[in-house]
Amino acid sequence: MGARCSKLSVCWWPPHFKSPMLENGAVDDDGSGVPVFAEYSLDELRAATDGFAPDRIVSEHGEKAPNVVYRGTLFSSGRTVAIKRFGRSAWPDSRQFLEEARAVGQLRSGRLANLIGCCCESGERLLVAEFMPHETLAKHLFHWETNPLSWAMRMRAALYVAQALEYCSSKGRALYHDLHAYRVVFDVDGNPRLSCFGLMKNSRDGKSYSTNLAFTPPEYLKTGRVSPESVVYSFGTVLLDLLSGKHIPPSHALDLIRGKNFLVLMDSCLEGHVSNSDGTDLMRLASRCLQYEARDRPNLKAVVSGLASLQKDASTPSHTLLGIQHDKKSSDHVPLSAIGKAFARADLNDVHEILQDDGYNEDDMANAELSLQSWTGELSESFVVKRHADNAFKSKDFATAVECYSRFLDSGAAVAPTMLARRCFAYVVAGKLQEGLEDAKRAEDIAPGWPMGHYLQALVLHNLGREAESHEALKKGTMLEAERNSRARTV
């Protein structure tokens, strides 16, 4: 019948295929809504940041700690993350870096911007954390444009940071390095959170204070080491920032406090909005935290208790206090279905099964034409070729599948989206990415409501290094799948 096809078989997943799967296979959260800690490959983090592009940088540090934080998008989940890239001289001992990162990665709190992963590969040292989209406390305090930060939000930020520090201390991570207003960030709901990056040293030597010496704990200047009491001192400088709206050296602030000139310290934007008693209480708490002798400073439990009594408008949502638009359905994070996750992880075994199960059910028009042709006896040889192609695809004989699907499609029969999708997948396995991309786009054109065309494009585009386009295709596939499932439920 002329339907004999090649016996060459490709029954394994090829080494050229760049899977974005995490090295330990972790993709789900641990019940906290935060992904479990994982070790990422350098390729995935490079792709997430478009090759560590300058326009992805969200913050940089000085010469003493030349570290850069990028905004990245993980292909494996569609999640937007903050990626901290250490300088080349930091952490020469990879084992020490991994141990430190894994320990911090076990912490999970709604008061932290949690650490969700790291990378230790090819001399690179990177941390991956939850991304906080609404800037830092320093930005809202020192560089506001229209509305200053309200007293209620300042006190909420102080309490949440103190609670974060207390939580970390209770979990055996009492040391926090270089605490300041830039370490406090605001999440999608406007809630203040403490960055997890300060829970790790900037380098293996522990010399991680890169700010002006005027703000550095006295004992650090003597010993070069951080203690839990040093963290309380640094927190006192943050309280001064909140009270004054500017970065005042502690020694100068203490002189004003001793002279009972706390009103001179008060941010002028707060006049008429803060009672004298509240302002005095905060000033006294800051003064206690900034005592020269470490033993004279309060513990974190006492700090939390003192700040709890200063809370205002406790029932008002944080996004209202911060004055931001609130959208729970953030476009930065795409909630993926099980099918979407399989494509995002580039799990070829799962994708193969999905394409097997989802075959031909979207090809109504094509099937109608094929049925008509089969009844009239036309193109009978092509149908034998199609049968060979489907059997080859099922048995993972992808070279045969490509040849037979190509022969059928070239015969002039109706072009079925399922055939294009399966040939696309076979091309991907064979490393023919451009041919696979063309088939995925053709499948989308013929069946625009079928999510597989978009999902397959996401898979191919990732391996072509076109991450932004890949992420958009993944989102479109997710949306179409949700619409299809919704229609199915109403039938």
**pLDDT tens-digit readout, 459-470:** 988 777 676 788
Same domain, 221 and 252: yes
User: Is residue 327 very low, low, confident or very high in pLDDT (cuts 50, 70, 90)?
Assistant: low
Position 64 confidence tier, pLDDT thresholds 50, 70, 90: very low
| Mean pLDDT on 125-136 | 94
Inter-residue contact 115 to 196 (CB < 8 Å): yes
Q: Does 334 reside within a domain? A: no
**pLDDT value of residue 363:** 45
Q: Which domain holds residue 277?
A: 137-322
What six digits make up the tokens of 235? 């927190």
Q: Looking at residues 367-372, what average pLDDT do you find?
A: 44
Per-residue pLDDT at 261: 63
Stated as kind and residue range, the H or E segment containing 262 is helix 262-265
pLDDT for residue 12: 46
Beta pairing class for 38-39 and 80-85: unpaired
Q: Verify whether residue 29 is a known catalytic residue.
A: no
245 and 368 share one domain? no
Whether the per-residue pLDDT at 205 is higher than 90: the answer is: no
Residue 105 has pLDDT above 50, yes or no: yes
Distance, in Å, from the CA atom of 86 to the CA atom of 194, rounded to the nearest integer, reads: 19
- Concatenate the DSSP letters of all residues of 343-402 into one string: HHHT-HHHHHHHHHHTSSTT-HHHHHHHHHHHHTTTTHHHHHHHHHHHHHHHTT-HHHHH
Q: Which of 100, 130, 160 is the last residue of a domain?
A: 130
Q: Is residue 12 part of a domain?
A: no
Mean of pLDDT values over 369-390? 64
Q: Given this model, what pLDDT does residue 172 score?
A: 93
Q: Name the residue with tokens 């930020």.
A: 157
Please report the pLDDT score of residue 15 as a whole number: 52
Q: Which residues on adjacent β-strands are paired with residue 185?
A: 136, 193
Sheet with 124-130: strands ordered across: 38-39, 115-121, 124-130, 80-85, 68-73, 57-60
The pLDDT tens digits for 163-194 are 999 999 999 999 998 899 999 999 998 999 99
Answer for the pair 125, 88: CB distance below 8 angstroms, yes or no: no
Same domain, 358 and 462: yes
Nearest to 471 by CA among 375, 360, 344: 344
Do the domain assignments include residue 219?
Answer: yes
Q: Are 195 and 122 contained in the same domain?
A: no
Distance CA 426, CA 14 (A): 11
Which residue in 178, 347, 390, 397 is the catalytic one?
Answer: 178
In a domain, 385, yes or no: yes
368 & 462 share domain: yes
CA distance 172 to 393: 53
Asked if the model's pLDDT at residue 329 lies above 80, the reply is no
Is residue 61 pLDDT above 90, yes or no?
no
- The answer to whether the beta carbons of residues 99 and 169 sit under 8 Å apart is no
CA 479 – CA 491 distance, rounded (Å): 19
pLDDT at position 80: 92
Q: Mean pLDDT check: name the lowest of 32-46, 58-72, 386-400, 423-437.
A: 58-72
Domain count across the chain: 3
For residue 26, the model assigns a pLDDT of 41
Task: Choose the weakest-confidence range: 68-82, 309-323, 358-372.
Answer: 358-372
pLDDT band for position 216 (50/70/90)? confident
pLDDT tens track for 80-91: 999 999 887 788
Tell me, what CATH number does 201's domain have?
1.10.510.10
**Distance from C-alpha of 182 to C-alpha of 195, rounded to nearest angstrom:** 9
pLDDT the model gives residue 83: 97
**Residue type, position 123, single letter:** G
Q: pLDDT tens digits, residue range 257-305?
A: 776 666 778 888 888 889 888 988 999 999 999 999 999 999 999 999 9
In this prediction, residue 10 has a pLDDT band, given cuts at 50, 70 and 90, of very low
Same domain, 351 and 302: no
Cβ contact 134:324 at 8 Å: yes
88 and 141 co-located in one domain: no
Neighbouring residues of 408: CB distance < 8 A, sequence distance ≥ 6: 382, 385, 386, 389, 419
231-244 average pLDDT score: 94
Cβ–Cβ < 8 Å for 181, 238: yes
Looking up residue 61, the CATH number of its domain turns out to be 3.30.200.20
Task: Match 């019940």 to its residue by tokens.
Answer: 31
317 and 350 part of one domain? no
- Quick one: what percent of the chain has pLDDT higher than 70? 80
Same domain, residue pair 190 and 310: yes
Q: Is 230 found in the same domain as 117?
A: no
Which is more confidently placed, 183 or 9?
183
- The residue type of 223 is T
